[in-house]
A and B are shown apart, each in its own frame.
Chain A
Amino acid sequence: MTSTLRPPPPAPPRSPQAAHSPAPRSPRHHRSWRQALRRDWQLYSLAILPLLFFLVFRYLPMVGNIIAFRRFKPGGSIFGEYWVGLRYFRMFLTDPTFWEVFTNTLVLGTLTLLFCFPLPIVLALLLNEVRARRFKRFVQSVSYLPHFLSIVIVAAMVMQLTSIEGTANQLVSLFGGDPVAFLQQPEWFRTIYVSSEVWQTVGWGTILYLAALTTIDEDLYEAARIDGAGRLRQTWHVTLPGIRPTMVTLLILNIGSFLAVGFEKILLLYNPLTYPTADVVSTYLFRMGFQSSNFSYAAAIGLFEAVIGLILVLSANVISRRTVGTSLW
Chain B
Amino acid sequence: MTLGTKIDAPKTRGPDDSRGYRIFRIVNTVVLLGVVVVTLYPFLTIVARSLSNEAYIIAGKVTIVPRGFNLTAYKLVMSDAMFWTNYRNTVVYTVVATLISIVLTTCYAYVLSKPQLKGRPFLIGVALFTMFFSGGLIPNYVLVTSLGMKNTIWAVVIPNAISVFNLLVMKAFFESLPNELEEAAAVDGLNTYGILLRIVLPLSKAIIATMVLFYAVAFWNSWFTAFLYIDKQDLLPVTVYLRNLIAGATSAESSGAADADKVQAAATLQAVTIVLTTLPILAVYPFVQRYFVRGVMLGAVKG
| Residue ranges of A at the interface with B (Cβ–Cβ < 8 Å) | 1-6, 8-9, 15-20, 32-33, 36, 40, 42-44, 46-47, 49-51, 53-54, 56-65, 67, 72, 78, 123, 126-131, 133, 135-146, 148-153, 155-157, 159-161, 163-167, 169-170, 173, 179, 181, 183-184, 199, 203-204, 207-208, 210-211, 213-214, 216, 218, 221-222, 225, 230-231, 234, 246, 256, 264, 267-268, 271, 273, 282, 285-286, 289-290, 295, 298-299, 302-303, 305-307, 309-310, 313-314, 329
> Nearest chain A CB to B195's CB is how many angstroms away?
9
Q: How far is the CA of A59 from the CA of B162 in the complex (A)?
A: 13
With A78-B143, A128-B11 known as contacts, the answer to whether A54 contacts B277 (CB < 8 A) is no
Between A and B, 10 residue pairs with Cβ closer than 8 Å are: A67-B142, A139-B33, A141-B289, A144-B293, A152-B221, A153-B277, A160-B46, A221-B11, A264-B224, A271-B254
Q: Which residue of chain A has its CB nearest to the CB of B58?
A: A165
Q: Which of B11, B32, B42 contacts A214 (CB 8 A)?
A: B11
Report, as a range, how many residues of chain B touch the other chain.
35 or more
> Nearest chain B CB to A255's CB is how many angstroms away?
11
Q: Which residue of chain A has its CB nearest to the CB of B137?
A: A302
Q: How far is the CA of A267 from the CA of B1 in the complex (A)?
A: 41
> Nearest chain B CB to A87's CB is how many angstroms away?
16
- The answer on a CB contact under 8 Å between B35 and A160 is no
B97-153 interface with A by 8 A CB criterion: 103-105, 107-108, 110-111, 114, 117-119, 121-130, 132-143, 146
| Selected interface stretch from B76-84, B202-210, B238-246 | B238-246
Q: Is B45 interfacial (CB-CB < 8 Å)?
A: yes
> Nearest chain B CB to A50's CB is how many angstroms away?
4
A53, A63, A183 — which one has the most chain B CB atoms within 10 A of its CB?
A: A53
- The answer on a CB contact under 8 Å between B300 and A211 is yes
- The answer on a CB contact under 8 Å between B139 and A309 is no
- The answer on a CB contact under 8 Å between B138 and A298 is yes
Q: Which residue of chain B has its CB nearest to the CB of A131?
A: B10
Q: Which of A50, A203, A305, A314 contacts B107 (CB 8 A)?
A: A50
Q: How far is the CA of A244 from the CA of B34 in the complex (A)?
A: 27
With A3-B1, A173-B60, A231-B16 known as contacts, the answer to whether A65 contacts B8 (CB < 8 A) is no
- The answer on a CB contact under 8 Å between A54 and B142 is no
Interfacial chain B residues near A271, Cβ < 8 Å: 250, 254
With A9-B302, A137-B8, A271-B254 known as contacts, the answer to whether A60 contacts B267 (CB < 8 A) is no
Q: How far is the CA of A217 from the CA of B124 in the complex (A)?
A: 33
Q: Which of A46, A53, A199, A313 contacts B39 (CB 8 A)?
A: A199
With A46-B110, A149-B278, A155-B246 known as contacts, the answer to whether A170 contacts B138 (CB < 8 A) is no
Q: Which of B24, B105, B137 contacts A231 (CB 8 A)?
A: B24
Interfacial chain A residues near B298, Cβ < 8 Å: 4
Q: Which of A61, A150, A179, A214 contacts B134 (CB 8 A)?
A: A61
A58, A128, A136, A268 — which one has the most chain B CB atoms within 10 A of its CB?
A: A58
Q: How far is the CA of A19 from the CA of B126 in the complex (A)?
A: 10
Complex A-B, nearest 9 residue pairs according to Cβ-Cβ distance, in ascending order: A61-B135, A64-B139, A302-B136, A150-B221, A42-B192, A16-B125, A50-B108, A36-B118, A61-B139
Q: Which residue of chain A has its CB nearest to the CB of B301?
A: A6
Interfacial chain A residues near B302, Cβ < 8 Å: 6, 8-9
Instruction: Mark B218-239 against chain A: 1 for CB-CB distance below 8 A, else 0.
Output: 0011111000100000000001
> Nearest chain B CB to A322's CB is how many angstroms away?
19
Q: Which residue of chain B has its CB nearest to the CB of A65?
A: B139
Q: How far is the CA of A105 from the CA of B58 in the complex (A)?
A: 35
Q: Is B169 interfacial (CB-CB < 8 Å)?
A: no
Interfacial chain B residues near A298, Cβ < 8 Å: 137-138
- The answer on a CB contact under 8 Å between B35 and A123 is yes
Q: How far is the CA of A197 from the CA of B71 in the complex (A)?
A: 32
Q: How far is the CA of A207 from the CA of B293 in the complex (A)?
A: 7
- The answer on a CB contact under 8 Å between A152 and B239 is yes
Interfacial chain B residues near A170, Cβ < 8 Å: 60, 63
Q: Is B285 interfacial (CB-CB < 8 Å)?
A: yes
With A50-B104, A138-B36, A161-B42 known as contacts, the answer to whether A130 contacts B143 (CB < 8 A) is no
With A19-B121, A61-B140, A156-B246 known as contacts, the answer to whether A208 contacts B128 (CB < 8 A) is no
Q: Is B70 interfacial (CB-CB < 8 Å)?
A: no
Q: How far is the CA of A36 from the CA of B273 in the complex (A)?
A: 55
Q: Is B179 interfacial (CB-CB < 8 Å)?
A: no
Q: Which of B32, B42, B162 contacts A139 (CB 8 A)?
A: B32
Q: Which of B59, B267, B297 contacts A5 (CB 8 A)?
A: B297
- The answer on a CB contact under 8 Å between B138 and A299 is yes
Q: Which residue of chain A has its CB nearest to the CB of B268?
A: A160
- The answer on a CB contact under 8 Å between A40 and B221 is no
Q: Is B40 interfacial (CB-CB < 8 Å)?
A: yes
With A2-B5, A142-B36, A295-B138 known as contacts, the answer to whether A60 contacts B29 (CB < 8 A) is no
Q: Which residue of chain A has its CB nearest to the CB of B40?
A: A142
Q: How far is the CA of A232 from the CA of B28 in the complex (A)?
A: 14
